[in-house]
């Protein structure tokens, strides 16, 4: 349990007023914690709600008071809590803004840096299809990498495989350019 307590310290508190970025930071860190722990659903919920402060804590107390133990709407798991927090503190209008940012991000440096920015944005969306992600990801790549990806389309069946292939190609291109410059 000592390790779990140390990992729990890494989860930021969430107050409900600090914006969607802070909400998703809280969610990401908590999911990392939940993945590495063997706590039950009820225990995970207890740990997650212990990290709520401010408006989010007031909302949680209100939810518990208003929803009886046998109510089908009562939150009983971390996933239910996460869904409700996103619904309340990162409404659909936020999804629209993130989608717009996702579609406008362009590769200006390495593919790895572009991929990291793309991932940071896409993780903040409550739902996005793999096809939509692939389309938006390809659209932001420089033309050399994008052309390669299009030529390999049948082998790149999911977003992760696509990203890894593009990063490898970029790394190979950088290695070749460095070798040429060294001679």
Number of folded domains that form the chain: 2
- The full length of the chain comes to 183
Q: Are 47 and 5 in contact (CB under 8 A)?
A: no
119 and 79 belong to one structural domain = no
Q: Are 76 and 68 in contact (CB under 8 A)?
A: no
129 and 163 belong to one structural domain = yes
* Residue among 159, 170, 161, 105 nearest 134 (CA): 159
Q: Last residue of a domain, which of 72, 89, 106?
A: 89
> Hey, is 52 helix, strand or coil?
strand
* Residue among 178, 183, 105, 107 nearest 148 (CA): 107
pLDDT in tens, the chain (183 residues): 455 566 677 788 999 887 777 888 898 888 888 887 888 899 999 999 999 999 999 999 999 999 998 999 999 999 899 989 988 887 766 778 888 889 999 999 999 999 998 988 887 776 788 888 899 999 999 998 988 888 877 677 788 888 999 999 888 876 666 555 555
The residue range of the domain holding 169 is: 92-182
Q: Are 124 and 93 in contact (CB under 8 A)?
A: no
54 and 100 belong to one structural domain = no
Q: Last residue of a domain, which of 57, 89, 121?
A: 89
Q: What DSSP character marks residue 96?
A: H
């Amino acid at each position: 349990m000592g390790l779990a307590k140390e990992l729990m310290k890494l989860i930021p508190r969430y107050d409900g007023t600090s914006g969607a970025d802070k909400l998703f930071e809280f969610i990401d860190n908590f999911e990392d914690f939940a993945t590495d722990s063997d706590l039950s659903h009820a225990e995970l919920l207890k740990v997650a709600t212990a990290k709520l402060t401010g408006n989010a804590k007031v909302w949680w107390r209100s939810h518990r008071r208003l929803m009886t133990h046998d109510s089908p709407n009562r939150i009983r798991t971390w996933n239910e809590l996460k869904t409700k927090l996103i619904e309340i503190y990162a409404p659909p209008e936020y999804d629209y803004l993130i989608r717009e940012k996702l579609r406008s991000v362009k590769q200006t440096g390495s593919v790895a840096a572009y991929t990291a920015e793309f991932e940071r944005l896409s993780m903040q969306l409550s739902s996005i299809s793999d096809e939509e992600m692939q389309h938006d990801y390809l659209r932001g790549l420089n033309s050399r990498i994008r052309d390669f990806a299009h030529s390999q389309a049948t082998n790149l069946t999911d977003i992760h495989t696509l990203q890894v292939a593009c990063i490898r190609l970029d790394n190979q291109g950088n290695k070749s350019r460095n070798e040429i410059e060294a001679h």
